[in-house]
């Protein structure tokens, strides 16, 4: 997937190709974080939800005749069929660019800024090289959903079904419901049901709606001992701030004090980790055994990098998130080391939430880590990619960037087992093929691809500083 950005903050124009592991490097204030969050807003669940609202209201520019035809047929006959693979072949690129076209409207709220005007922002997305993968993913997707008068009724008035390895999405009604569907459901509800079923599946196939943001504030908010009441108070404080903002009659939707979507989504992930029922995760593993790999990777992160266990403990007054440093020592999050605070959110995300093809965006994964741990982290992130996750990081770490070169070179080595002990985690799964990696240097209002054909990363951002300080005396 290739992205062209114009007029995003300090970035005048940049072209970026997203790979399973995408790395943004460069000095401060060069647009790395803004770019990663902008992409997350478009490709993730936030952009999807904003687009659905706009499309249903008729506020988008792109039309989809197959959707309109399906709605008309359901209203007339009670059933319809849509070849969703063909729909994606014809409209996927048009669709995702229509989503991107709305980004200037939501970016102030998403980024929690009142002072930046995003109206000159332009984003163009090309699916060249990735469309076949999208179509294949859709072909093998199974889903089933019903629309009823109420969730409690249990009687589906309209159903949507797509079988695995069948390109057709079926909309149908039960025979006894067919004649009265419009009497029991408003036409708008039927339209929304059809629109959402088609667009959600296409969006998820393009780039999974499962995007997890790890902002730099993560080391603070992982220390918050959430309970239901505390989370409710947090939500109330956000609502109160919004109301106060409205009372000032300033036409703005957000406040930097409240935080943007990146922080909100991160806090929500942490909160629901407190209350995630492990039996739900076990059901997910039964449906998709690949998820068990992420549980094992969470354990590896604990054992080899954090060097202790992170888990919840119910004291009777509520759950606590504790770090077990040894058999006899358990510590609350506010008093653990900065490294533990840094990496615990990733443990929770892997243990409770991620699924194949999900996307992790980590702002400066090297924060608070010793250089040796930074080297271990890039090996670990490469392992996540090899386990079918997508990772995008911003970084200032020469250890991460330089060692990434080693990992790409190791992937070319024929006898990988013979060299694994040279690496910190001693895992051949960390050897990542170069074709899965993209590296961009942000500077001078653009982003430059600095990964050459030989697998070298051509940059001087840190080397120049090292040379300078070495020559002072």
Give the E-state strand segments of 319-395 in sequence order: 319-326, 329-332, 359-363, 390-395
Per DSSP, helices labelled H in 288-337 are 291-300
Nearest to 139 by CA among 113, 163, 111: 163
Helix/strand/coil percentages in the chain, nearest 5: 50, 20, 30
Residue 12, H or E segment: strand 11-17
Whole-number pLDDT of residue 129 = 82
Residue 117, H or E segment: none
In contact, 397 and 390? CB cutoff 8 Å:
no
> Alpha-carbon distance 418 to 434, whole Å?
20
> Alpha-carbon distance 275 to 418, whole Å?
44
Per DSSP, helices labelled H in 57-139 are 65-77, 84-111, 131-139
| Inter-CA distances, 18 with 172, 204, 434, 438, Å | 38, 16, 13, 7
Residue 174 DSSP class = -
315 φ, ψ to 5°? -90, 0
Beta-carbon contacts of 458 under 8 Å, excluding residues fewer than 6 positions away, are 450, 452
What number of residues does the chain have? 473
pLDDT tens sequence for the chain (473 residues)? 999 999 999 999 999 999 999 999 999 999 999 999 999 999 999 999 999 999 999 999 999 999 999 999 998 888 999 999 999 999 999 999 999 999 999 999 898 888 888 999 999 999 988 899 899 999 999 989 988 766 555 567 889 999 999 999 999 987 554 555 556 678 888 999 999 999 999 999 987 768 999 999 999 989 887 665 555 565 555 555 545 444 443 333 333 334 688 788 899 999 899 888 899 999 999 999 999 999 999 999 999 999 999 999 887 667 889 999 988 899 999 999 999 999 999 999 999 999 999 999 999 999 999 999 999 999 999 999 999 999 999 999 999 999 999 999 999 999 999 999 999 999 999 999 999 999 999 999 999 999 999 999 988 766 677 677 767 77
CATH topology for 1-44+359-473 is: Rossmann fold (3.40.50)
Domain-wise residue ranges, the chain:
1-44+359-473, 46-206, 231-354
Let me know if 257 is exposed, middle or buried by CB neighbors in 10 A (0-12, 13-18, 19+). exposed
Predicted TM-score (pTM) of this structure: 0.89
Tokens for 456?
């070298």
Tokens for 47?
């952009």
244 φ, ψ to 5°? -65, -35
In contact, 206 and 92? CB cutoff 8 Å:
yes
Whole-number pLDDT of residue 182 = 58
Tokens for 272?
């629901």
How far is CA 45 from its chain centroid? 8
211-214: strand order across its sheet: 211-214, 359-363, 390-395, 21-26, 437-443, 446-449
**Strand, helix or coil for residue 388:** coil
> Alpha-carbon distance 24 to 33, whole Å?
8
> Alpha-carbon distance 181 to 157, whole Å?
6
């Amino acid at each position: 997937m290739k992205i062209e950005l114009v007029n995003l903050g300090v970035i005048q124009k940049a072209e970026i190709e997203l790979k399973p592991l995408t790395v943004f490097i460069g000095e401060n204030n060069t647009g790395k974080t803004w770019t990663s969050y902008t992409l997350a807003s478009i490709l993730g669940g936030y952009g999807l939800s904003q687009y659905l609202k706009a499309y249903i209201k008729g506020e988008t520019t792109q039309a989809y005749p197959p959707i309109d035809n399906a709605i008309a047929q359901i209203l007339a006959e009670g059933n319809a069929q849509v070849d969703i693979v063909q729909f994606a072949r014809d409209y996927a690129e048009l669709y995702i660019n229509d989503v991107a076209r709305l980004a200037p409207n939501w970016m102030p709220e998403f980024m929690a800024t009142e002072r930046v005007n995003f109206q000159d922002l332009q984003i163009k997305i090309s699916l060249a090289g990735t469309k076949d993968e999208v179509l294949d993913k859709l072909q093998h997707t199974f889903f089933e959903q019903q629309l009823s008068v109420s969730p409690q009724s249990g009687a589906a008035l309209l159903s949507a079904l797509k079988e695995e390895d069948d390109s057709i999405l079926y909309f149908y009604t039960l025979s006894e419901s067919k004649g009265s569907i419009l009497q029991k459901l408003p036409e708008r509800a039927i339209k929304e049901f059809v629109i959402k079923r088609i667009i959600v599946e296409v969006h998820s196939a393009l780039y999974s709606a499962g995007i997890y943001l790890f902002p730099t504030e993560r080391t603070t908010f992982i220390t918050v001992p959430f309970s239901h009441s505390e989370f409710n108070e947090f939500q109330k404080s956000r609502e109160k701030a919004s109301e106060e903002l409205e009372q000032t009659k300033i036409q703005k939707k957000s406040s930097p004090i409240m935080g943007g979507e990146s922080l909100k989504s991160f806090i929500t992930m942490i909160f629901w980790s407190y209350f995630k029922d492990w039996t739900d995760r076990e059901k997910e593993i039964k449906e998709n055994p690949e998820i068990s790999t992420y549980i094992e990777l969470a354990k590896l992160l604990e054992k080899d990098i954090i060097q202790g266990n992170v888990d919840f403990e119910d004291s009777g007054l509520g759950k606590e998130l504790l770090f077990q440093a040894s058999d006899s020592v358990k510590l609350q999050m506010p008093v653990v080391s900065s490294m533990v605070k840094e990496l615990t959110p990733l443990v929770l995300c892997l243990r409770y939430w991620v699924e194949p093809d999900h996307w992790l965006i980590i702002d400066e994964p090297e924060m608070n880590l010793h250089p040796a741990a930074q080297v271990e982290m890039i090996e670990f992130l490469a392992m996540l990619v090899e386990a079918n996750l997508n990772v995008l990081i911003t970084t200032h770490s020469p250890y991460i960037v330089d060692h990434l070169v080693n990992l790409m070179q190791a992937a070319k080595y024929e006898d990988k087992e013979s060299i694994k002990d040279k690496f910190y985690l001693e895992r051949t799964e960390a050897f990542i093929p170069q074709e899965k990696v993209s590296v961009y240097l942000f500077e001078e209002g653009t982003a430059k691809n600095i990964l050459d054909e030989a697998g070298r990363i051509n940059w001087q951002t840190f080397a120049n500083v090292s040379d300078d300080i070495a020559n002072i005396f």
